[in-house]
Structure 1
């Protein structure tokens, strides 16, 4: 009987994964701003992965000091025009130390993007597990996990991260530590999203049919609920990545994030705040890289959200450029209305207009 119930009450099968991916890609390609942002993000990821190769081509590394390239009499200002830019140092050198700026910038991209992606992964895993467990558990489990989630959401992230980073021994790898702390302190919002989506999905007919057919709760969550959670979770995760990049930069700027000599964009900003007049490129390069990365990821995340949920309009209103199609039967603005009493016209009451 359960098999017959599944066959008769289950809704139509959703589109295959390949078909859904094609629809998503078609909707994403229709958004020009999102595609430009995707190209910028892909370029940044490629630069981060190819950092050893790029620095080898330049012939530099991010940690070697070049004291001969800075003017010690002037406090360590780089010698030469534009911060010491030359064929050997493509973007100049760092004040006081003479370290190569190009090498530190591309290696800093690895740290910033790596920390942000790792922290987002931790947030997604924790949030989905807690949210789905709360939605599928009994009333006591739901209440307990919901209160824990609300406490996590209410925690001030920067203050908690500062406190935890201050007590952890310095021997622990700092990028890994920053990723774990951001992930464990900031998963609350995605947990609430996963719980709400699961509560909505578990009331659908195909989930009830799977339950009546004898499937375990774990199998129902894995086979029926997680595919339905993909769209909201991926959407929010895409918007969390730029936020996590900004958090890592803030922690490094405050001196509790990634420690020297490991390069990081936030750490470079910390050292550059007193050099904005003598060596402005030392401040502008990491600040510009952070700005472009966060902006591109934000635009891409918004495009992913709109592609996954075509009913939702883009929040950014960038690159849409499409004209709204007129509804069938709608009156064109400015068009003259037909005269109901013109010769030969049909009156609403069925009386024709007088013939001239």
Structure 2
């Protein structure tokens, strides 16, 4: 009977998965703020991927110095209005060096987004593997991995990253190194989420049926548990991406992240903190890009969380449509109650 139950569930899995994907997409589309955020994120990713093409259209690159475009007598302030904006330099040039700001901004998007996505991937893989192994292992394995996860969670991320980045040879590619360090130091929380979800799922009837059918632990985890982990893992992963962008920017701002001449938004902020009066554009462009990116990813992650769990209300309600709907429902309920009372009297 257990084999028949497992076979029936396996045959129904694709249809239910497809139905679940359609429901998720419908719920996500119903959230206007989340869709605007998704469009913003898609545009940022497109700009990052097309950075070489965009800079080729402008005719510039992010590393070439243009000393003739800065006034050395004034300490390297860009010549011209708005930091030297022209048809050749769409957003002006960098103080002191004269490097093109547009080229550095779009290439910096590749570094910031790439580091954040790579670090999030490492965090998800490590967290899910450790969490599922702890939940499915014996008592000693669970205790060992749970205590290791507690240590990882308790570690101060920025301090650990600063220490590790300071001792690694400078020849190692910095974007890759920053991604690995963030991923290996900050997987603890998602490991706890994966363990808790697995402990809850492994007691369900379909998992017990698969176990009685003689399935191996790996097959049960792959076929029965991992699909159930998708919702909490995707939700938390979406929240980690903006956090990792901010961490990369912080490390680059402190001078231990991505090294010049590779552009990064955090690195640009480090160089711009003394030019906010003479060349405010140099500070506002990377700061604005970081703000828009983190805000869009945060709103999108909240929309994903709400779409995956429709019982949970969004933390970032945007607009007045829902308030107006709630007020209309309250008025309708009051009118209905009054009508019932009048009919009874």
1:85/1:125 CA distance change after superposition, 3 Å: same
1:2/1:258 CA distance change after superposition, 3 Å: same
1:271-295 CA distances to partner (integer Å, 9 max, x unpaired)?
0000000000000000000000000
**Which residue in 1 is equivalent to 2:60?**
60
Q: CA deviation at 1:120?
A: 0.1
1:277/1:139 CA distance change after superposition, 3 Å: same
**Which residue in 1 is equivalent to 2:324?**
324
Which 5+ residue runs of structure 1 have no aligned equivalent?
326-335
1:53/1:127 CA distance change after superposition, 3 Å: same
**Which residue in 1 is equivalent to 2:25?**
25
Q: CA deviation at 1:62?
A: 0.2
**Which residue in 2 is equivalent to 1:350?**
339
1:338/1:295 CA distance change after superposition, 3 Å: closer
Tell me, in whole angstroms, the C-alpha distance in 1 between the residues paired with 2:55 and 2:329. 77
For the 8 Å contact 1:302–1:316, the answer to whether it is kept is: yes
For the 8 Å contact 1:178–1:257, the answer to whether it is kept is: yes
Tell me, in whole angstroms, the C-alpha distance in 1 between the residues paired with 2:13 and 2:194. 23
Tell me, in whole angstroms, the C-alpha distance in 2 between the residues paired with 1:171 and 1:90. 33
1:132-157 CA distances to partner (integer Å, 9 max, x unpaired)?
00000000000000000000000000
**Residue 341 of structure 1 pairs with residue 331 of structure 2:** yes
Q: CA deviation at 1:301?
A: 0.2
For the 8 Å contact 1:62–1:101, the answer to whether it is kept is: yes
SS in 1 for 2:324: coil
1:76/1:204 CA distance change after superposition, 3 Å: same
For the 8 Å contact 1:66–1:99, the answer to whether it is kept is: yes
For the 8 Å contact 2:3–2:210, the answer to whether it is kept is: no
Tell me, in whole angstroms, the C-alpha distance in 1 between the residues paired with 2:344 and 2:258. 89
Q: CA deviation at 1:340?
A: 24
For the 8 Å contact 1:47–1:106, the answer to whether it is kept is: yes
Q: CA deviation at 1:3?
A: 2.6
For the 8 Å contact 1:11–1:206, the answer to whether it is kept is: no
1:48/1:140 CA distance change after superposition, 3 Å: same
Q: CA deviation at 1:249?
A: 0.1
Tell me, in whole angstroms, the C-alpha distance in 2 between the residues paired with 1:298 and 1:351. 45
For the 8 Å contact 1:38–1:296, the answer to whether it is kept is: yes
Q: CA deviation at 1:17?
A: 2.4
Tell me, in whole angstroms, the C-alpha distance in 2 between the residues paired with 1:28 and 1:277. 42
Q: CA deviation at 1:25?
A: 0.7
What's the TM-score, normalizing by structure 1?
0.89
Tell me, in whole angstroms, the C-alpha distance in 2 between the residues paired with 1:238 and 1:338. 33
For the 8 Å contact 1:31–1:320, the answer to whether it is kept is: no
1:104/1:353 CA distance change after superposition, 3 Å: closer
Q: CA deviation at 1:316?
A: 1.1
1:7/1:164 CA distance change after superposition, 3 Å: closer
Tell me, in whole angstroms, the C-alpha distance in 2 between the residues paired with 1:255 and 1:343. 59
Which 5+ residue runs of structure 2 have no aligned equivalent?
none
Tell me, in whole angstroms, the C-alpha distance in 2 between the residues paired with 1:161 and 1:208. 42
Tell me, in whole angstroms, the C-alpha distance in 1 between the residues paired with 2:35 and 2:328. 46
**Which residue in 2 is equivalent to 1:160?**
160
1:67/1:201 CA distance change after superposition, 3 Å: same
1:340/1:354 CA distance change after superposition, 3 Å: farther
Q: Which has the higher helix share?
A: 2
Within-5 A mapping of 1:6-85: 6=6, 15-85=15-85
Q: CA deviation at 1:56?
A: 0.4
What's the TM-score, normalizing by structure 2?
0.92
Question: How many residues end up aligned between the 2 structures?
Answer: 344
SS in 1 for 2:323: coil
For the 8 Å contact 2:302–2:315, the answer to whether it is kept is: yes
SS in 1 for 2:329: coil
Q: CA deviation at 1:233?
A: 0.3
Tell me, in whole angstroms, the C-alpha distance in 2 between the residues paired with 1:338 and 1:173. 58
For the 8 Å contact 1:341–1:354, the answer to whether it is kept is: no
Tell me, in whole angstroms, the C-alpha distance in 2 between the residues paired with 1:309 and 1:36. 20
For the 8 Å contact 1:24–1:308, the answer to whether it is kept is: yes
Q: What is the alpha-carbon root mean square deviation over aligned residues?
A: 4.9
1:279-334 CA distances to partner (integer Å, 9 max, x unpaired)?
00000000000000000000000000000110110011224723698xxxxxxxxx
